């Protein structure tokens, strides 16, 4: 594949970004590993934030943030999935709390951020600006950026726009909002693997509107009738919750069906996907060359249905300097044991630098 490489967004000067990146020591090809380790690493023990707050980012949005771990530790920022998923207490536990100062935040419109489920002034580049606002607030020159699923999209967008602010980059369950990726999961492909669950996803949509499920769902997720919005949101959200692990996890699927969670999750996801992630075609794979001097890790479940492995492999080809870890017994969720192992190994490795 030899795509035209689009310009980076106006939020960064790509010439400056490349100059800073190229000043680092050259990196050779990363390793590619596909294995199930004999002894699997797990999450660090539960921790509570040492501080938290709300940041006014303008246009009516206030985002919840928290910092955990060692206040004098290595700076890291965690970018959650969705878009619209919000952070959980488990995300704090992906880092050694003695070595890292971990920043987590709920992206616009979800989790504890306000206004809840808002689609106004809610784009990829608004979120990139929010990450920079947090970095500036805490006075970090650079920080490790960690993102999974949609968080990998946002991590790549941020890193390509602000490569001089990224010390290391860890991405998992790679998703770049290319039309074929979204079409696979929300129009046809994945339905062949989960026909029974797909029927539940289709249920709110009349037969005559099923030729464009993105638009059909958009109409219902923005409907004036709350009952219509909730029905569509729960169907959308539970489709994802029931298909992101290799083995069924009913508890996870039920959590995705909580109406308060589902409304933000489904509305914001659909909003981004209808607008192609507010990205140019192939922007994040095409722009990955600016990352070649950033120490990085890609982790991908071999049997990931939500974000199939093709995208992770495309990123690997565009950014071969990053280490690539296949989890051969996993789907999409970060909590699946082999995925989790490689993530913890990666944060430990960079925490020792």
User: 303 lies in a domain?
Assistant: yes
Active site residues: 149, 304, 332
**Judgement on whether residues 89 and 104 belong to the same structural domain of the protein:** yes
CB 104 within 8 A of CB 68: yes
The model's pTM is: 0.92
User: 187 lies in a domain?
Assistant: yes
Domain range for 210 is: 180-276
pLDDT tens-digit readout, 251-269: 888 899 999 999 999 999 9
**Judgement on whether residues 197 and 271 belong to the same structural domain of the protein:** yes
**Judgement on whether residues 269 and 304 belong to the same structural domain of the protein:** no
pLDDT tens-digit readout, 18-52: 333 334 555 689 999 999 999 999 999 999 999 99
User: 16 lies in a domain?
Assistant: no
**Judgement on whether residues 283 and 272 belong to the same structural domain of the protein:** no
Domain boundary among 237, 258, 276: 276
CATH number where 300 lies:
3.40.50.1820
**Judgement on whether residues 42 and 148 belong to the same structural domain of the protein:** yes
**Judgement on whether residues 246 and 288 belong to the same structural domain of the protein:** no
pLDDT at 15: 33
Distance of alpha carbon 40 from the chain centroid: 23
Nearest in space to 117 (alpha carbons), one of 50, 159, 60, 52: 60
**Judgement on whether residues 154 and 303 belong to the same structural domain of the protein:** yes
Distance of alpha carbon 115 from alpha carbon 59, whole angstroms: 10
**Judgement on whether residues 284 and 224 belong to the same structural domain of the protein:** no
What Å distances lie between residue 55 and 22, 58, 111, 150, 202, CA to CA? 33, 9, 14, 22, 38
User: 344 lies in a domain?
Assistant: yes
Burial of 321 (0-12, 13-18, 19+ CB in 10 A): middle
pLDDT tens-digit readout, 207-246: 999 999 999 999 999 999 999 999 999 999 999 999 999 9
């Amino acid at each position: 594949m030899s795509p035209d490489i689009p310009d980076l967004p106006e939020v960064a000067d790509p010439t400056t970004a490349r100059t800073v990146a190229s000043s680092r020591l050259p990196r050779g090809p990363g390793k590619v590993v596909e294995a199930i380790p004999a002894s699997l690493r797990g999450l660090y023990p539960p921790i509570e934030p040492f501080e938290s707050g709300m940041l006014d980012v303008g246009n009516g949005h206030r985002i919840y943030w928290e910092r955990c771990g060692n206040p004098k530790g290595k700076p890291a920022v965690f970018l959650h999935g969705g878009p619209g998923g919000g952070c959980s207490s488990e995300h704090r536990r992906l880092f050694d709390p003695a070595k890292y100062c971990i920043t987590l935040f709920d992206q616009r419109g979800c989790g504890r951020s306000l206004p809840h489920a808002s689609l106004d002034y809610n784009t990829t580049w608004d979120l990139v600006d929010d990450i920079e606002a947090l970095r500036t607030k805490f006075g970090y020159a650079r920080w490790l950026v960690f993102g999974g699923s949609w968080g990998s999209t946002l991590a790549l967008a941020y890193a390509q726009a602000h490569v001089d602010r990224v010390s290391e980059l860890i991405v998992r369950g790679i998703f770049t909002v290319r039309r074929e990726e979204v079409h696979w999961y929300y129009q046809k492909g994945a339905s062949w693997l989960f026909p029974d669950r797909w029927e539940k996803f289709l249920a709110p949509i009349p037969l005559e509107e099923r030729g464009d499920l993105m638009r059909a769902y958009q109409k219902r997720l923005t409907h004036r009738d709350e009952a219509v919005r909730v029905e569509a949101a729960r169907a959308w959200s539970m489709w994802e919750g029931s298909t992101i692990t290799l083995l069924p996890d009913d508890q996870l699927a039920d959590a995705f069906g909580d109406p308060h969670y589902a409304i933000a999750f489904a509305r914001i996801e659909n909003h981004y996907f209808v607008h192609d992630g507010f990205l140019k075609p192939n922007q994040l794979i095409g722009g990955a060359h600016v990352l070649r001097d950033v120490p990085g890790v890609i982790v991908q479940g071999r049997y990931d249905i939500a974000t199939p492995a093709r995208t992770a492999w495309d990123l690997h080809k565009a950014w071969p300097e990053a280490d690539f870890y296949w989890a051969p017994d996993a789907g999409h969720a970060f909590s699946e044991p082999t995925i989790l192992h490689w993530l913890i190994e990666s944060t430990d490795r960079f925490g020792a630098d």
